[in-house]
Structure 1
Amino acid sequence: MTQLPGPKAPALIQLLQWVAKPLTFMEKCAEQYGDAFQIKLNYPMVFISHPKAIEEILKTNPKKFDSGYGNKLLAPLVGDNSLLLLDGDRHQRHRQLLMPPFHGERMQAYGELICAIAEKVASKWVVGQPFSMRESTQEISLKVILQAVFGLQEGQRYDKLEQLLNSVLESLASSWKASALFLKFLQVDLGSWSPWGKFIRERQEVDELVYAEIAERRQKLDPKQTDILTMLLLARDEAGGAMSDRELHDELITLLLAGHETTATALAWAFYWIHRQPEIYNKLLSELDDLGDNPDPMAVMKLPYLNAVCSETLRIYPVGIITSARIAKSPITIMGQAYPEGTALAPCIYLTHRREDLYPEPEKFKPERFLERQYSAYEFLPFGGSTRRCIGAAFAMFEMKLVLATILRHYSLALLEKRSLKIVRRGVTIAPAGGVKMVMTGKRMPQKQQSPSVAAV
């Protein structure tokens, strides 16, 4: 293999740059080294942003890669039986068991639940009182997960899980806090007062609550319930086998921690961009108003401009900035470049979404680009691709559209300021610093051509 270009700094320095300022680090590398470059994180990793190369990687037989190993740093968060960490037959089995609950006619019931939760959270806003949109969208998405995935209703276990999960996620809510995921020497339990010790104890409390819920639901299994936990308890693989409690636990934790954090951030970005550009706001409201009162969730799902706004949000700041790294089990050639066994190949979502040849003026928020052409799965890949594509991608887009539609139709909002937001790391994702500060200016009656404003700071 020809030595790939890449930064020459020591591995620890590169890892710290990746943790602290991942976008700046990637952009500088791409500018200096091109479409494929090698950086040294916990192990050397090749970042790839050319769609043709990404296509070759994603179309390669998955058995030629160890993809679960590339997510090992997530093990303290999601457990060893998470779909994210599995490979081969076990990965295929889990994926087949997990897929059905996220598709089909049950989405209608989920849609009504999502709209109700969004309305309930938004109803707590006070006219003229600033709030963090990201905190609100995190509350919405966590309640959706607890009710749609677990089938939990508000009560003692629901409240405790909500409080603990918020605390666990906040423990990773900055570059410094998230560094413990990437730097093993920081994973030291010095008691509940230490960051890692506090994280471990809260995760143990979450584990106890989740296992208790699984045990109770096995005892009182009701096939008529539509929540995802019920469907997973009923699911059987090709050999007639069911998921063990440990497998169920790790997959539920994956959905809880990965699912609601990412959707919350994407929604916060969407509200920011929509209210920053009046022409986008007006066009979107016009489309939403045309549906009339109490639109069917499935009709909202099909709106073309709303879909374009959501897609552009996920393009400009994808919550996941790289896909799962594929570690080659044997020598492999991608776009004429030979890579030896053990090479970690990481299709880079962020850099691909910022390619000038695919997205002219990539730094500008332009939903119309998704109406003017259709992008391939190797040009636009906010949820990853192939057999490692996010299992909840359809659900996430469904939730995103319904929350935006519910809130925009009924509430007039304004950004506190329109300046560009600083980007910060939250765990393995990126998010707007400050959480997108907004203010409600009043309840909204459906009417066209209502422009957003910028409140005085």
Structure 2
Amino acid sequence: MNRTELGFRLRLIPFLDSVESLEDGMVRLRDRRWLVWHPDVMSALFRNDRDLRHPPSRTLSPLLGNRSVLWLDGAEHTAYRRTLTPALRGNRYQALIEEMVERSIAALPSGPTSLPEWTRKLALRIIGRIVFGVDDDELLAAFTRWLDRRLGSRVRTLAHRCLTPGSTRSDPHLDAMLLHRARTAEPPALAAFLPPGDLRDQVVSLLFAGHETTASATAWTLYWISRTPGLAERLDDDLLEATIRESLRLSPPATLAGNRMSADGMVITPSIYLAHRRAATYENPHVFDPARRPPPPGAFFPFGGGVRHCPGRDLALLEIRLIVTALLRHKHIKLSSPTCTPQLRGAAMAPPPSLAMVATCRR
């Protein structure tokens, strides 16, 4: 492993910051593997996505399973997308989300609470209800503990990835709980429509992908609103949409957009983080500015692109809007720090757990 790839693996955010100024928008990590973020390259890559393979993540595939929809290709992938995309349309779940958000806000303590942990718990409960059709806090708490042991810090992530590589990191007891809940929930929910042979991998993938990035994006949006004077008081629907979009640009919940492999074995990894901070694309790219003009094609893809774009995109955006709107309607929000250093959970980027929120009732 050369120094470039070592920096990419061990210190991802500092490495990305160190190559941000490269005008050609690409860097070779090792022989036949490239990190790319130039908008023209991204547009071409996503246009031709169906002709490429999508190798599994060395970090996530031992957790989510080799049969996860995230790694499938061809007809299998298309079939799963046809099932999942309509089932994850946000408008189907608006009343459910609103009810769960109101309950979560009402239960907020009077003192400080970790903003990232609050949004993560809420987003997991929402996707848990969608997947299983019922609330099961015991099951979701076990899922959270299992995930945190592997991705809860950069050290844990690296240990999980590098120690005994290639082996699975599943928990037989947790898997049995997940499968039992998926098979017995009444009325039938999303899990009931997944093929039984892949049920474990797809359920774990939906729970993970359906809450981790949504929770991070929600926390980042609240962070940017909190540190922008007067913004909370001016948030009509249009400004909220622009605020969420700018938060997704400057603090994307996923730093990378998976891997692509060409027929001759070339591996290409798109960098969302770098594409969103490219100075040739965005004026003053490190400044939070909801009034920015729309970017050119290939320059903004917080939910990935091509045939691998997130099927839950609309659901995630709806959740962010509903959580932010309800929280600011009921509470005055004050954060413990005007700045924070991002924490990586795999390739996902969230505010650190130490970012505390104090929520006081509006009068």
Show the counterpart of 1:305: 239
Indicate yes or no: 2:340 matched with 1:389.
Answer: no
The answer as to 2:203 corresponding to 1:252 is yes
Q: Can you give the 5+ residue segments of structure 2 that lack an aligned partner in the other structure? A: none
Kindly provide the amino acid, as one letter, of the partner of residue 175 in structure 2.
D
What secondary structure sits across from 1:378 in the alignment?
A: coil
8 Å Cα contact 1:30-1:37 kept in structure 2: no
Matched, 1:266 2:252: no
The aligned runs of 1:311-322 (5 Å cut-off) are: 311-322=245-256
Match of 1:150 among 132, 155, 172: 132
Aligned counterpart, 2:345: 426
Q: Give CA deviations for 1:279-316 in whole Å, capped at 9, x if unaligned.
A: 322211xx2xxxxxxxxxxxxxxx22111111111110
Question: Higher relative contact order at CA 8 Å, sep ≥6: structure 1 or structure 2?
Answer: 2
- CA deviation string 1:53-109 (max 9, x = no partner): 11111111512x111x14354221111221111111111111112111122xxx445
2:347 is equivalent to residue 413 of structure 1: no
SS in 2 for 1:84: coil
2:230 to 279, 288, 295: 279
TM-score scaled by structure 2?
0.92
Read off the aligned partner of 2:178 and give its amino acid letter. Answer: V
Q: Cα distance, 1:374 vs. partner?
A: 2.7
Q: What letter matches 1:344 in structure 2?
A: V
Q: What SS class does the counterpart of residue 343 from structure 2 fall into? A: strand
Match of 2:257 in 1: 323
Provide the C-alpha distance between the structure 1 equivalents of 2:336 and 2:227, rounded to a whole number of angstroms: 10
Measured in 1, the distance between the counterparts of 2:49 and 2:255 equals: 23
- Give the conservation status (yes or no) of the 8 Å contact 1:150–1:228: yes
- Following superposition, the deviation at residue 229 of structure 1 comes to 2.6
Pair 259,27 (structure 1): closer, same or farther in 2 beyond 3 Å: same
Is the Cα–Cα contact under 8 Å of residues 320 and 349 in structure 1 kept in the other structure?
A: yes
- Residue 181 of structure 1 and its aligned partner are, at CA, apart by 4.3
Cα offsets for 1:252-302 (capped at 9, x unmatched):
211101221111111111111101112322211xx2xxxxxxxxxxxxxxx
Matched-pair identity in %: 28
Partner of 1:363: 286
What is the CA–CA distance in structure 2 between the aligned matches of 1:109 and 1:33, rounded to whole Å? 43
Amino acid at match of 2:271: C
Alignment counterpart, residue 156 of structure 2, candidates 174, 177, 186:
177
Are 2:53 and 1:66 aligned? yes
Partner of 1:87: 73
What's 1:444 paired with? Answer: 362
Bigger shift: 378-387 or 31-40? Answer: 31-40
Is 1:116 equivalent to 2:99 in the alignment?
A: yes
One-letter identity of the residue aligned with 1:437 = A
Q: Is the CA contact 1:135–1:435 (under 8 Å) kept in the aligned structure 2?
A: no
User: Matches of residues 162-173 of structure 1 in structure 2 within 5 Å?
Assistant: 162-171=140-149, 172-173=151-152
1:216 is aligned to 2:167: no
Give the CA deviation at 1:377.
4.5
Cα separation, 2, equivalents of 1:427 and 1:376: 28
Q: Match of 2:309, as an amino acid?
A: R
Aligned-pair RMSD on alpha carbons? 2.2
Check 1:60–1:109 CA distance in 2 against 1; reply closer, same or farther (3 A cut). closer
Equivalent AA in structure 2 for residue 66 of structure 1: R
Long gaps (5+) in structure 1: 1-9, 189-195, 234-242, 288-302, 330-340, 446-457
The separation in 2 between residues aligned to 1:168 and 1:19, in whole angstroms, is: 22
